[in-house]
Amino acid sequence: MINESALLESKTLRGSVLDRTDVLDRVKALSLLPDGMHVTTAMVAAYFEVTVKTLESVVEDHRSELEASGYQVLTGKRLALFKGASGIQSRSKALALFSRRAVLNVAMLLRDSEVARQVRVYLLDMEYLARTQPVENPAHTTPMSLDDRIDQRITHILGKTVVPMFNALIETSGEHRRELVALRTDVQRVEKRLRQHHARLERLEGTRDDRSAVGVMASMDAMNGRAFEQHIARLLRRDGCTNVVVQGGHGDRGVDITGRTADGRRLVVQCKRFAPYLNITSPDVQKFVGAAKVLYSAEVALFVATCPFTPDAVRIAAETGITAVHRGLLEAWSAGEPLKVLE
């Protein structure tokens, strides 16, 4: 696996990427408690689509590591103060809380969660690519070759994570020789999987040979949810829409942006900045249909996503008058091609 084995087995490697908590929202939206900082055990289990018992087992096995990442159990006065400050209603005498760092730590410990696996892949496939991209000189922009980008990713992983582990093992004693050999084998597997994943990303993002790797979609993939909504609002204004208001967040009733088209029609937009290998499903579209048509009486409704739509989602969108702006259409729109529904 693409260093999944290394993340699962190496505490050192896990610690080196714990600050990349933004990856959690890129794979799947993580709901937080009212304090905006913590989640409960049940919420973490729901995010990773595992049982509470499974999560509790992970905590039991790695408690000290998770506590260092921000996991804590509140009791007594501390629990009472937290309930009062956050407005949480609970009769429990103890409350386990996870910080975002702790949730990311769990993602690197859960073996049997598909969501956790996607987080690990995204960490070592997308984030390392973003870190190694050079700053472009507008006057001298030279597209990177495929081999150059792959070499940079491999170099980063070897130089920043695996090699330091090798050195630490060598410096200890001969009892770690077997582990060192195993890690060397993992490095070879990493290189192979990096090439496979890069080819997959090329297909998903439609990267052309005549375009820099840091293109329209790559920049959107690096945005957080709020920045993505603002980007879509700018596109709407560019295409003549008026009264454009970004209202995404808690209490938005399923609509992130409202406004008027150039000819005065009521406009609502739902924005989903998901990882490119995920999909917008029919329940996602059905939920937006209710908000757009019933709550807002929209005449033009856009569901904008950085990922594909499932066939069922496309069918429901077409039947209900929703314009599905999938990854490919979004790229063309961002590059200057107007949406026909706005004309």
Place of tokens 């209490």: 251
Residue 201: other Cβ atoms inside 10 A: 19
Task: Give the separation between CA 311 and CA 343, rounded to whole angstroms.
Answer: 26
Does the reported pTM lie above 0.75?
Answer: no
111 and 152 both lie in a single domain? no
Torsional class of 25: left (φ above 0), alpha (ψ -120 to 50), beta (otherwise): alpha
Maximum C-alpha span of the chain: 76
User: Which letter does DSSP use for residue 248 in this model?
Assistant: -
How high is the pLDDT of residue 138? 42
How many structural domains compose the chain? 3
115 and 8 both lie in a single domain? yes
Task: Give the separation between CA 252 and CA 341, rounded to whole angstroms.
Answer: 23
How high is the pLDDT of residue 207? 40
Instruction: Select from 94, 119, 144 the last residue of a domain.
Output: 119
63 and 100 both lie in a single domain? yes
Task: Give the separation between CA 250 and CA 227, rounded to whole angstroms.
Answer: 16
Residue 57's SS3 state is helix
Nearest partner of 255 among 269, 242, 245, 241, judged by Cα: 269
How high is the pLDDT of residue 260? 93
Instruction: Select from 218, 249, 267 the last residue of a domain.
Output: 218
Residue 252's SS3 state is coil
How high is the pLDDT of residue 149? 52
211 and 265 both lie in a single domain? no
**Taking the alpha carbons of 55, 61, 67, 73 in that order, is the dihedral positive or negative?**
positive
pLDDT in tens, the chain (343 residues): 445 567 788 888 888 888 888 888 888 888 888 777 889 999 999 999 999 999 999 999 999 999 999 999 999 888 888 877 766 777 788 999 999 999 999 999 998 899 998 888 887 765 455 454 444 444 444 444 444 555 555 555 555 555 555 555 555 555 555 666 666 667 767 766 666 666 556 555 544 433 333 367 777 888 888 889 999 999 999 988 999 999 866 556 778 999 999 889 999 999 999 888 889 999 999 999 888 888 888 999 999 999 999 999 999 999 999 999 998 899 889 888 888 898 8
256 and 318 both lie in a single domain? yes
The CATH number given to whatever domain includes residue 282 is: 3.40.1350.10
316 and 243 both lie in a single domain? yes
97 and 8 both lie in a single domain? yes
Q: Which tokens go with 192? A: 């192979």
How high is the pLDDT of residue 69? 92
135 and 56 both lie in a single domain? no
Nearest partner of 264 among 223, 315, 300, judged by Cα: 300
Residue 258's SS3 state is strand
337 and 232 both lie in a single domain? yes
56 and 12 both lie in a single domain? yes
Contacts by 124-129, CB closer than 8 A, 24 or more apart: 124/2, 124/3, 124/7, 124/17, 124/157, 125/2, 125/194, 125/197, 125/201, 126/23, 126/26, 126/221, 126/275, 127/17, 127/20, 127/23, 128/153, 128/156, 128/157, 129/153, 129/213
Q: 67 lies in which domain range?
A: 4-119
153 and 235 both lie in a single domain? no
Task: Give the separation between CA 162 and CA 194, rounded to whole angstroms.
Answer: 15
Beta-bridged to residue 39, according to DSSP, are 98
Q: Is 245 exposed, middle or buried (0-12, 13-18, 19+ CB in 10 A)?
A: exposed
161 and 241 both lie in a single domain? no
Q: Which tokens go with 121? A: 């892949």
Instruction: Select from 119, 140, 157 the last residue of a domain.
Output: 119
